Amino acid sequence: MNKFLFLFILFIATKAGAQTSALAIADSLYAVGNYSEAIEELEKSETRSDPVLLKLAQAQKANGNPAAALENYKTVLEQNPERILTAVEYAKLLANTGKLKEADSIFKQLVNKYPMNANFHYQLGLVREEQKDSTAMTHYNITILLQKNHQQALGKVAKRALVSGKLMEAERLSKQGLETNPSNRTLLSILAQAYYFQKEYQLAIDEFEKLVDLGAGSELIHTRLGTSYYHLKNYDKAIFNFNAALDYEDQNHATHYSLGKLYALKGEYKNSEGHLLQAIIFKSVILDEEFTSLGLTYKHMEKPKEALNYFNKAIKENPDNERAMFERAIAADSYFEDLETKMNYYQAYVDKFRETGSRNLLLLAQRRVKDIREELHMQASAPDEN
């Protein structure tokens, strides 16, 4: 063999061996999270081959230096524009660093060149969504046509259907994805909510409970579980779940209000009182419903003075709250001794709601006014014993 040819081959082999060694060391460092050391090792390499530049870009990206990583991806693609996986990684990093138009351009080229590739359509959809471009949904739908169980695309399309009120479509798409991955939390949540808004409460409970079993409980999930159990008249489980919701947000007035009403339904008026008072504390807008419920709780606790106080508060918040005004008259009837005072409360209710009020409540109030007038007449007609 020619001496010079032998030396050239030896030189090439040495270079290749050095590159392989550098890549192996860098791989080991990268695998244990020593990204800076991996970068140093790769930068020692005298060659700037594609494998070295790509490994360098990977380590730089992981080390929080996306600008350097982008430069290396770009260099590789300039030398080898047919490297599809590199183009995908480059475009993803462009999108993650806010360079959406550049990322869009690359994914658009990939979609045009490989129109049957589901992932390229999905990635273009993500970039379009970030740009608030409505064509994102088109690409998510194409993704599903090409790959019917694409989990992420199904999640996107099913969520859009749910938000748009297309509940049957959201249900269908969620089930389609769950056939492949029954533990997909996003799709389980969408399916549960689709059932919930269709008032299929037992079906909603089944899906929400799966999410809880998967460790994906949240304030929203436990609140909707509580509401679903309430509609099925399972008050114990409703209370359990509303209390679980408080573990995530203990100052949610609506949760306390729901618990107050539920405890009242079970006759646990002390618990009802506590939660309704907290609901009032945590609510910053009109409180007439909370005041009315608290008044009713005190009514059942046979505390007419407290009930009267909160019915008055409810009416002050909302003068058109008919229930509060009617219940105030009943509380006044129990609390006051003076017949005229009792009658005046009933009469105030009748005068206010004579034209618009509940027929049944009006009849009850008018009958009580009549009875009190008869009592007053009898008192006035009674002979003076003195």
CB 310 within 8 A of CB 298: yes
Torsion angle in degrees (nearest 10) through CA of 228, 233, 236, 238? 20
Please choose, from the candidates 15, 69, 75, 65, the residue with its C-alpha nearest in 3D space to the C-alpha of residue 45.
15
* pLDDT at residue number 278: 93
Separation CA 25–CA 40 (nearest Å) = 11
Separation CA 193–CA 171 (nearest Å) = 9
Separation CA 20–CA 197 (nearest Å) = 59
CB 153 within 8 A of CB 174: no
Separation CA 240–CA 165 (nearest Å) = 29
Separation CA 71–CA 81 (nearest Å) = 14
Separation CA 74–CA 67 (nearest Å) = 11
CB 31 within 8 A of CB 43: no
Start-to-end CA span in the chain (Å): 148
CB-based burial label for 65 (10 Å; 0-12, 13-18, 19+)? middle
CB 298 within 8 A of CB 306: yes
Ordered per-residue pLDDT tens for the chain, 386 residues? 444 433 333 333 344 444 456 666 656 666 666 666 666 677 776 676 777 777 877 877 888 888 988 898 898 899 888 999 999 999 999 999 999 999 999 999 999 999 999 999 999 999 999 999 999 999 999 999 999 999 999 999 999 999 999 999 999 999 999 999 999 999 999 999 999 999 999 999 999 999 999 999 999 999 999 999 999 999 999 999 999 999 999 999 999 999 999 999 999 999 999 999 999 888 766 678 889 999 999 999 999 999 999 999 999 999 999 999 999 999 999 999 999 999 999 999 999 999 999 999 999 999 999 999 998 888 777 666 54
Tokens of 340: 């005229």
Tokens of 284: 């910053």
CB 149 within 8 A of CB 140: no
Tokens of 351: 């005068």
Beta-carbon contacts of 289 under 8 Å, excluding residues fewer than 6 positions away, are 257, 314, 321
Q: Is the pTM of this model over 0.85?
A: no
Separation CA 236–CA 239 (nearest Å) = 5
CB 115 within 8 A of CB 138: no
Separation CA 369–CA 349 (nearest Å) = 11
* pLDDT at residue number 5: 37
Beta-carbon contacts of 189 under 8 Å, excluding residues fewer than 6 positions away, are 207, 211, 216, 221
